[in-house]
Amino acid sequence: MSPPPQPSFSSSLLMASNVSHQRRSQRVYLQESAGGSSLHLDGEAGSASTPAASRPSSSCLYSQFQSTESENRSFEGILFKKGAMLKPWKPRWFVLDKTKHQLRYYETRQDKECKGVIELGDVEAVAAGASAMGAPKNIEEKAFFDLKTTRRVYNFCAQDSLNAQLWMDSVQSCLSDA
């Protein structure tokens, strides 16, 4: 019985040796042992004598390139964000990242790709805001706040005044740490 196939690593950076025509696809492995780690390609000198079945501690490198965004989430939650001119208020999942000095926003909590980034280095002021046309209904006046940057003013609405104050304090704390 043959060993199960190993997943291929398809990075153009590490597969540069695979550019020549009609060359079979190569797999990249990290060989781990008590003496350290070494990188091997299928068919590479030195690894040809070591069949895949005898490499129980080998792992594909692709897992090293997974996102670590969640490690930098200092504060997160839902805020309504007013779009640019004449755009409606939309709920977005916001992530305050004190490490990268960013306020990122996503369409939903589950999204991996952010819709936008506000660089905290560009923020000039965080202040209480006012309700605007088209704002979410039945929200208290103190739930609104604004972020003034060098490029524009972002209008936000939290669920209530307490959450708005938490967001303003958290962003202000990041600005003070800079």
* pTM for the structure as a whole: 0.59
Q: What is the pLDDT of residue 2?
A: 57
Residues 6+ apart with CB under 8 A from 1: none
pLDDT tens-digit profile of 103-154?
999 999 999 999 999 999 999 999 999 888 888 888 999 999 999 999 999 9
153/116 same-domain check: yes
Q: Is the pLDDT of residue 18 over 50?
A: no
Whether 73 and 145 map to the same domain: the answer is yes
Best CA proximity match to 79, nearest among 177, 138, 166: 166
CATH number of residue 99's parent domain: 2.30.29.30
Counting the structural domains of the chain, the total is 2
Residue 167 sits at the vertex; the CA angle it makes with 163 and 172, to the nearest 5 degrees, is 145
Whether residues 49 and 119 fall in one domain: no
Query: For residue 127, what are the domain limits?
Result: 69-177
Q: Spell out where the chain has E strands.
A: 28-33, 36-41, 59-60, 75-82, 89-97, 102-106, 116-119, 123-128, 144-149, 153-157
Distance CA 133, CA 105 (A): 22
Q: Clarify whether residues 161 and 73 are in a common domain.
A: yes
Residue 45 has pLDDT above 50, yes or no: no
Do both 101 and 152 map to the same domain? yes
Q: Is residue 134 part of a domain?
A: yes
Strand, coil or helix: what is 83?
coil
Query: How confident is the model over 37-51, as a mean pLDDT?
Result: 47
